[in-house]
């Protein structure tokens, strides 16, 4: 039972407003979690750059 399919998917949603440094710290911390099926969704309401304001990152793929 070590495959990711044997575990429920855990979704973590982070909402922020133009705080890339905080988001980077969050993602670095989440990489320390020892769970095989984690999805992290980051929503930034004030992204400075391309129009895409929602980034989905799958950890431990």
In tens, the pLDDT along 1-60 reads 557 678 999 999 988 887 777 777 888 888 888 888 888 888 877 766 554 434 444 444
User: What is the domain range of residue 25?
Assistant: 4-59
Q: Tell me how far apart the alpha carbons of residues 21 and 28 are, in angstroms, rounded to a whole number.
A: 11
pLDDT at 51: 44
Instruction: State the pTM of this model.
Output: 0.61
pLDDT at 4: 65
DSSP-H helix ranges across the chain: 20-30
Q: Are 16 and 45 in contact (CB under 8 A)?
A: yes
Instruction: Give the number of domains in the chain.
Output: 1
Q: What is the pLDDT confidence band of residue 61, given thresholds at 50, 70 and 90? A: very low
Q: Report residue 33 as tokens.
A: 């979690």
């Amino acid at each position: 039972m070590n495959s990711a399919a044997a575990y429920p998917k855990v979704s973590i949603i982070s909402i922020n407003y133009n705080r890339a440094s905080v988001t980077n710290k969050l993602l670095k911390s989440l990489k320390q979690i020892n769970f095989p099926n984690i999805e992290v969704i980051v929503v930034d309401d004030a992204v400075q750059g391309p129009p895409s304001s929602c980034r989905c990152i799958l950890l431990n793929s």
